[in-house]
A and B are shown apart, each in its own frame.
Chain A
């Protein structure tokens, strides 16, 4: 790996890290505006994180080292994902690092640690949330794998970098009906993997209905900030991946120089803003589904992914 590639990867990771709270803030703002409310400034999540970092932590008496380890594991895995996700551009990693299976595995690792964190305190709500999260994860995983595998087949590369490189070289593929079902499935998986509507409600105060929020209910102060930041980052990187596949324009490469990098950064910000608009719109129009309807949501997602896979295979063969 060259120095240029290394710098490129760091720049890319830092960009996502910096933009992530903005995405969350923008989604909230869009939702507020669509409800005729003014809403908080889009920068509010930054101030919230800063406030949480300065707050005292309350550690549950009956928790073990797992509880204290979880924020690091969750934020760590998400950071790893942010570094391998081609957000500003591609070409920095060898094919083995941004491998799709590795990507899904790291994402799952973060989820599993979150589940441990929810269970470790022994609180009812934490266990309830963990229980639900595992059910949802098991339902979401097949569709997620299928979507990435389809894209890999289409692009002829099993790495995210390779897939993006393919789309950037042949951008006319992005808007076609061939990949449309796959991208739709990816959007549905993105909503589920990030605890958004119609699977989970990130804004609720009702403990009995929570999934993701229930697991982090016992966290406070800097630990909570880490977990919230991880959530924001995870949403931003999924958003970047989705938008780059949908609009594969302006992607930089390590060799392209500073100007291309800057263009890539600006375009990333624009793409993430569009993504925030999309998610905000979905969350304003859609009602959260009943929990026992989740298998229907995921069955639908899987079949869309499956249809996408069939179309892509037919197209290639």
Chain B
């Protein structure tokens, strides 16, 4: 497609109910195709890709962001990574490159070697500022008091009221997308497993699905069911952690934190006993999944029964505590329109009344047989996100039991096929959909791997849900989304 028509076509499809899920670029100069930008739109039966070749000596195209807002961070990212200019983009500041990266550094171009030593530069990295009488700025981070990842936030406030809020993230660059190029999927797997500590299954499942689709590998029904099991266990653990963290540390109702973290610890110990890793590394592998026997199955049932009972007790206490609910309600409201415009994914979107769940919309792994019930809430506030977690936890427990009850026989490790080419892989992780695009070269090695963590699409939401709140409520808003800094910054 000619680059002049690219943005317009994306807009037409988005209006036709195929939301923009991903915008990415590739360097295909060796194949004489210059740079290529692609848009992935989520249609009813898969991802529709629009692509446009850009000439090598003038890598630019009319910006998609002008017409479809969900593209705004993707275009800034591509500009940093490849030096491709989205002409007419309303906010062309750097995104992943901080001040210290010299101008014209585009690490994902093929002629940039991964171990290039860059001189320290001092390029401008301006942040939003509001001016006026009585307005002051609060810089927070990147080093925080809690044991969390680094991220810098800039509040412009008047009194306690937040007027604007912007984050400066990307302190955790690991070069994953660059490092996996030229590696076999098998060698790349550990990199994917380590993208975000609390979303191991979330990322490995999406990557495994992409690899299997690209290579034409069929996995067994048992593998598919086990993948549902591990994914839902990860979701359950993360949701309980978040509910404890939001209600406990966010509001100071420490009871919730103590109880929630206790249950999380029990689950993590169970994970270790089952797969040998507290955070489920090794649960999903290329072409397979970690198998369980009868004994492990009984362990899961026993632990789950206890967790379910205790979680119910704890949640009853939380939901009947007026002081707690009062802190949650009307705090950090994300409107449905904003969530749609920004392309929010996962529970942040569902709490704002958007019916989006990749497990139902585009079933993969064993989700065709084990379909979860769609959970949405209307209010879009912290209370809604808390409720979505509570209801999804119950649903995860139901799915896990269903998998254990109907686990088909069969092997759990398929040999990877020899197919080449490209494919998408996705997974509705506990945060939201992970969407990967994988292109294999003629030797079966990775030519390009695009990874999107839902954190990347959801971080800009803070610009919407923060303002209007008071400063002391921001930690609560933050915990209600609980995004990954590392997952955002590959």
Contact = CB atoms under 8 A, between A and B. Distances in A.
Interface stretch (B192-200, B320-328, B348-356, B414-422): B320-328
B101 interface: no
B140 A34 contact: no
Interface in B247-262: 249, 251-255, 257-259, 262
Contacts of A205: 145-146
A132 B139 CA distance: 18
A35 B252 contact: no
Contacts of A286: 323
Given A36-B259, A206-B146, A207-B145, A287 B472 contact: no
A18 B252 CA distance: 29
A292 B258 contact: no
Interface string B235-267: 000000000000001011111011100100000
A198 B323 contact: yes
A283 to B, nearest CB: 8
B46 interface: no
Interface string A196-207: 011001011111
Interface string B286-323: 00000000000000000000000000000000000101
B251 A288 contact: yes
A284 interface: yes
B71 interface: no
B254 A208 contact: no
Nearest to B328: A287
B470 A292 contact: yes
Interface in A185-237: 197-198, 201, 203-209
A209 B144 CA distance: 13
B145 A291 contact: no
A291 B470 contact: yes
Interface string A127-148: 0100010000000000000000
A37 B258 contact: yes
A206 B324 contact: no
A291 B470 CA distance: 8
Nearest to A293: B326
Contact of B258 (A35, A201, A204): A35
Interface string B128-171: 00000000111110000110000000000000100000000000
Contacts of B255: 34-35, 284
A287 B253 contact: yes
Contacts of B249: 204, 206
B470 A201 contact: no
Contacts of A289: 323, 327
Contacts of B369: none
A54 interface: no
A31 interface: yes
Main secondary structure of the interface of B (DSSP, over half): helix
A124 interface: yes
A209 B331 CA distance: 14
B472 A291 contact: yes
A287 B139 contact: no
Contacts of B253: 287-288
A206 B137 CA distance: 18
A287 B471 contact: no
B468 to A, nearest CB: 12
B475 A209 contact: yes
Contacts of A291: 160, 470-473
Contact of A292 (B138, B160, B254): B160
Contacts of A284: 254-255
A208 B327 CA distance: 15
Query: By CB atoms of chain B within 10 A, which of A36, A209, A293 has the most?
Result: A209
A35 B471 contact: no
Interface string B61-89: 00000000000000000000000000000
B474 interface: yes
Given A201-B252, A287-B251, A292-B160, A208 B259 contact: no
Nearest to A292: B470
Contact of A209 (B137, B262, B472): B472
Interface string A288-302: 111111000000000
Interface string A151-164: 00000000000000
B95 to A, nearest CB: 25
Interface in B452-490: 470-475
B138 A128 contact: yes
When A and B form their complex, which 6 residue pairs have the shortest distance between CB atoms, in order from nearest?
A35-B258, A287-B323, A288-B252, A205-B145, A201-B252, A209-B472
18 contacts: A35-B258, A36-B259, A36-B262, A124-B137, A124-B139, A128-B471, A204-B249, A206-B475, A208-B472, A209-B252, A284-B254, A287-B251, A287-B252, A287-B323, A290-B326, A290-B470, A290-B473, A291-B471
Given A288-B251, A290-B327, 16 more contacts: A34-B255, A35-B255, A35-B258, A36-B258, A203-B252, A205-B145, A207-B145, A209-B252, A284-B254, A287-B252, A287-B324, A287-B326, A287-B327, A288-B252, A291-B471, A293-B326
